[in-house]
Amino acid sequence: MQEYRTEHDSMGEMKVPAERYWGAQTQRSYENFPIGWEKMPREIIRAFAVLKEAAARANAALRPDKMTQEKKGAIEKVCEEILEGGLSEEFPLAVWQTGSGTQTNMNVNEVIANRGNELLGKKILHPNDDVNMSQSSNDTYPSAMKMAAAILIHDELLPAVRVLTETFKRLEKENEGIVTSGRTHLQDAVPVAFSQEIFGWRGMLERDAKQLESALENLYELAIGGTAVGTGLNAPQGFGDLCAEHIGKITGLPFVSSENKFHALTSADAYVFAHGALKALAADLMKIANDIRWLASGPRNGLGEILIPENEPGSSIMPGKVNPTQCEAITMIAVQVMGNDAAVGMAASQGNFQLNVFLPVMAYNFLQSARLLTDGILSFEKRCVSGIKANKEKMQENLNRSLMLVTVLSPVIGYEKAAEVAKKAHKEGLTLKEAVLKLGYMSEKAFDEVFKPEEMV
């Protein structure tokens, strides 16, 4: 039978499950917002743990009479416990709650206070007076969501992009000298080296990484120190800067307190900009994955110019069928990220006066995008890209059949005659050489001197 204890807040008493560390405000939110299955992302909770630890250190330096070393030590211990993966069941609140994230801020405050008091063996920590000292939900949640985004991009997404980039570098070297058909408008085009095609893919990822790094600069500016409306009321002078300094020491990232707190509390433009970089990465991954699955199509009735790893059966009814499933997964992720971008942009536009109250939905969509891209890229690289092999024979066969090799004749016989050669070859099933000789536009020797596909790249 469930046992309860009685907790209270400014609105009165609440029954809370006896085994939980959260308090009355968390319980109210838990009961008042039974909406969906989407819970506050773990990255937000971890960011809050960093922020609360940093805030305790800053308060201990600036307000030692109130934030004693004993209190600071207890807060630090609980925050480290959260960062190490403990207490995960203590953060049950839905994304679909107050738009400022106040209830999640209080959830973290209550858990830290109650767990800290348990560690101390006495009740000296208060969730508002101590854990939330010099802060407001209005500056902590915007700070936490930026921290979570920056940490995820810097520590996980960018390294994943670099892993895939390095794999493409290896594939470039392995496939040097292989010439294949170029394709534009889904039609045959002039030849291209397979290594050049891979180089194009690599270039996309390198540019995406630069754009993500650029976006990080804005995410490093935090609202902390602005408290309720940007004025810094109830926070000592220098608190925001000192708190951000401690956040930087804990995370190893160059977080700072924004010079313009009024902007930091109400605007989410940094989130929009950064998610735009996520969308750009998603768009490039969509293109790369589609190229790979088209080139691997077949095995007999498609292009079949590359071979990719065969990971699992592809059909419940067609024996032996194998599908480009990793390509399909990454393209679905790309679609999700593009949808999330619309939600982030719309939510960011809803800042009213001194606060935006669409913060949790922005954080949820942004972090989902970054997490899906990170996991998807690593899976795509490991289970697909790293095993790509060129089907040289098929590439050569398709190249030899391409009518667009006629382009190399254009400077010699002119564009219109070259077009005539291509049309004649296609209509009569001839090779380009046979067509040009039939039309009498070149001698066999002259044709052989010019027509060298391997030199066209």
Does the active-site annotation cover 275?
A: no
- Dist. CA 226–CA 99, nearest whole Å: 18
For residue 72, the surrounding DSSP H or E stretch is: helix 69-83
- Dist. CA 39–CA 23, nearest whole Å: 18
- Dist. CA 439–CA 400, nearest whole Å: 20
- Dist. CA 142–CA 145, nearest whole Å: 5
CA angle 240, 244, 249 (to 5 degrees): 150
Among the options 315, 349, 426, 443, which is catalytic? 315
Let me know: does 244 contact 257? Beta carbons within 8 Å.
yes
In the numeric block, the tokens 């050569």 are attached to: 396
- Residue 329's beta-bridge partner residues? none
DSSP string, 329-358: HHHHHHHHHHHHHHHHHHHHTTEETTEES-
DSSP state, residue 428 = H
Alpha carbon distance, N-terminus to C-terminus of the chain: 75
455: CB partners within 8 A, 6+ apart: none
| 444, burial (CB in 10 Å: exposed 0-12, middle 13-18, buried 19+) | exposed
Torsion of CA 200, 201, 203, 206, to 10 degrees: 180
Does the active-site annotation cover 315?
A: yes
Residues taking part in catalysis: 185, 315
